Amino acid sequence: MDANITASSPDTKIPFDPRQFGEAGRRLLDIDWTTTPVGAMDTWPQSLRIALGICLSSRFPMFVWWGPERINFYNDAYIPILGKRHPAAFGKPAHETWADIWDVVGPQSDLVLREGGATWNERVLLVMERNGYVENTWFTWSYSPIFDESGHIGGMFCACTEETARVAAEAERDRLAREAMTTAATLKTWFDQAPGFVALLRGRDFVFEMANDAYHQLVGHRRVLGLALFEALPDVRNQGYEELLLGTFTTGTPFIGRGMRVLLQEQPGAPPKERFVDLIYNPVRDGDGHVIGIFVQGHDVTDQVVAVKALQVADRRKDEFLATLAHELRNPLAPIRQGVAIARSNRVTEERRAWALGIIDRQVTHMAVLLDDLLDVSRISRGKINLSIRRVSLRSLIDAAVETAQPIMDRKQHQLTVLLPEQDIDLDADPVRMAQVISNLLSNAAKYTEPSGRVTLEAGRDATGIVIAIRDTGIGLEPASIDRIFELFSQVSSSLQQAEGGLGVGLALSKGLVEMHGGTLEASSQGLGKGSEFIVRLPAPG
């Protein structure tokens, strides 16, 4: 066969050598076209020859379908798309070659051959078996009509590109991105939910790159990200942390701190509050080993430090209490021994013996009161006290309490004033225990008031219920003392020299008994030397 394909009309010859176009060109020459619907090569119309010249010479995947049977011509760039369908597909009807995807491409080619319009398909999924297994493939292609010399559509031209690798790469990219986002989200969740505070500081200015929820909570939820440490937290400056951070940044040596005190504002402009933290400064290095930042991690241990300090205070108070208890129990022993010695003497008068027995009785009574107070506090703490609540009159409680406290009032020559409403008031209370509370408060006022002082008891009813107030002109209280005078074994140190001793359990006992009645006991003072006021509030009877 002549290697030069020419048009049937001499003046429209387009000479080209198919062999120069590779395997597809050789296939074009090897096939006996007289046995195919397109007929002998020298009968091919000029439009087909031109289309084949364009197709075979292109390095872009292309094919030509010619005639009603859509006989398949393609170039070398299209061979990989065919897979195992090549070389059998060359010169065969397209519907035989692409039977598995003909439901997609067949109707489109029908439309082009019938109406002459071009099509455009972008990244269309085609499920085909071209390499011995079914696979998902994606293609972008365009079908264009080829008009013959008579103006009719003789076939169609297709330029296409396979997008399978790109789609797969993009899918893998998206998968990796999703995994990265999931991993990042997981890490952020772990970071934010870490039990301790965590922050990443960049550079010598210690700019916040990351900070978790615990860190934001520690610093009062202030904005820190993107800001230098001492710009974001100016209240931390001059507390020694700048030097510690610079030391780690400069030397690359981690720093570990335990129970470190720091004053932090809960919000800008607010007074700083004392916190305690355990923390570690770890240097962050680049690929060359240079320190480029600091990783901060730690825990807010304020509660633990405060608890330890409270235990230390409680331990100290326990020691003070034991010393006071020993003193309070030892003091009566000397007069008791003296009284016993006098009572045993055969030479003592009956009057002297009675005097000695009186001393013994008073000192034993004093010791019994101390021990009873201790036992009552213990019973309250263990929930072992049972109140006998009944309807009682306020005046009867006040009378019983005043009678109990009157001896110490008389001994210290105090002026006791009792102010009660004209009409008596009823309340629900254990009369013995509530009288004990009021007498304790009266005795406490007498003990902590200089001789010839004034003590006032005023009781009545207001909108909240029953109110009993005991005021004195005594030594008063410092503001810091008011919060702890109701604690067990607590004594106000500045008053010890002026008071008549005591174990520091009376107010704790009184508060416990009032609360068992559903009420409150509060203290107030204008300061040292300005007296004190204790107010009992009880619910009105239902």
Report which DSSP code applies to 204.
Answer: T
Return the exposure string of 162-176: e unless at least 16 CB atoms fall within 10 Å of the residue's CB, then b. Answer: bbbeebeeeeeeeee
Torsion of Cα atoms, 487 then 490 then 491 then 492, to 10° = -60
Does residue 377 have a pLDDT over 70? no
On whether residue 359 sits in a domain, the answer given is: yes
16 and 146 together in one domain: yes
Distance (Å, rounded) from C-alpha 423 to C-alpha 329? 44
Distance (Å, rounded) from C-alpha 433 to C-alpha 377? 12
pLDDT at 453: 94
On whether residue 89 sits in a domain, the answer given is: yes
Does residue 12 have a pLDDT over 60? no
Does residue 371 have a pLDDT over 90? no
Does residue 503 have a pLDDT over 70? no
**Cβ-contact 136, 127 below 8 angstroms:** yes
Distance (Å, rounded) from C-alpha 202 to C-alpha 181? 23
Task: Provide CB contacts within 8 A for 348, sequence distance 6+.
Answer: 342, 356
283 and 326 together in one domain: no
140 and 198 together in one domain: no
pLDDT at 202: 92
> Which of 122, 143, 162 is the last residue in one of the domains?
162
14 and 130 together in one domain: yes
For residue 224, the domain's CATH number is 3.30.450.20
Strand partners, 520: 537
442, with CB counted inside 10 A (0-12, 13-18, 19+), is buried
Q: Average pLDDT of 277-301?
A: 91
Does residue 66 have a pLDDT over 60? yes
For 391-446, what is each residue's pLDDT tens digit? 999 999 999 889 988 988 999 999 999 999 999 999 999 888 898 899 889 988 99
On whether residue 172 sits in a domain, the answer given is: no
For residue 477, the one-letter residue type is: L
Joined together, the tokens standing for residue 519 give: 């009420």
For 208-237, what is each residue's pLDDT tens digit? 988 888 888 888 888 889 999 988 888 888
Nearest Cα to Cα of residue 97 among 117, 133, 105, 51: 105
For 504-515, what is each residue's pLDDT tens digit? 577 888 888 899
Task: Provide CB contacts within 8 A for 101, sequence distance 6+.
Answer: 126, 127, 128
19 and 138 together in one domain: yes
Overall number of domains in the chain = 4
pLDDT at 438: 93
Torsion of Cα atoms, 81 then 83 then 88 then 92, to 10° = -30
For residue 351, the domain's CATH number is 1.10.287.130
Give the model's confidence band at 137: pLDDT under 50 very low, under 70 low, under 90 confident, else very high.
Answer: very high
pLDDT at 328: 62
Q: How many CA atoms lie within 13 A of 473 on its CB side?
A: 12
Give the model's confidence band at 494: pLDDT under 50 very low, under 70 low, under 90 confident, else very high.
Answer: very low
Joined together, the tokens standing for residue 85 give: 């369908």
372 and 428 together in one domain: no
> Which of 162, 186, 205 is the last residue in one of the domains?
162
Query: What percentage of the chain carries pLDDT values higher than 70?
Result: 87
pLDDT at 17: 78
Distance (Å, rounded) from C-alpha 105 to C-alpha 124? 11
Distance (Å, rounded) from C-alpha 30 to C-alpha 438? 125
Torsion of Cα atoms, 108 then 113 then 117 then 120, to 10° = 30
Report which DSSP code applies to 502.
Answer: -
438 and 528 together in one domain: yes
99 and 142 together in one domain: yes
On whether residue 214 sits in a domain, the answer given is: yes
For residue 527, the domain's CATH number is 3.30.565.10
Give the model's confidence band at 269: pLDDT under 50 very low, under 70 low, under 90 confident, else very high.
Answer: confident
User: For residue 148, what are the CA distances in angstroms to 28, 144, 245, 509, 510?
Assistant: 20, 13, 84, 116, 116
Query: What percentage of the chain carries pLDDT values higher than 90?
Result: 48
Task: Provide CB contacts within 8 A for 240, sequence distance 6+.
Answer: none
For 163-176, what is each residue's pLDDT tens digit? 999 999 898 888 88
Q: Is 463 helix (H, G, I), strand (E, B) or coil?
A: coil
Helices (H) and strands (E) in the chain, counts: 16, 17
- Locate the DSSP E strands across 194-290: 197-202, 207-211, 255-264, 273-285
Domain range for 207: 194-300
Q: Is 460 helix (H, G, I), strand (E, B) or coil?
A: strand
Q: Report the relative pairing of strands 153-162 and 273-285 from DSSP bridges.
A: unpaired
Does residue 186 have a pLDDT over 70? no
444 and 370 together in one domain: no
> Which of 115, 143, 162 is the last residue in one of the domains?
162
How high is the mean pLDDT of the chain?
85
pLDDT at 125: 94
Does residue 39 have a pLDDT over 90? yes
For 119-132, what is each residue's pLDDT tens digit? 999 999 999 998 88
Type and span of the H or E element at 433: helix 431-447
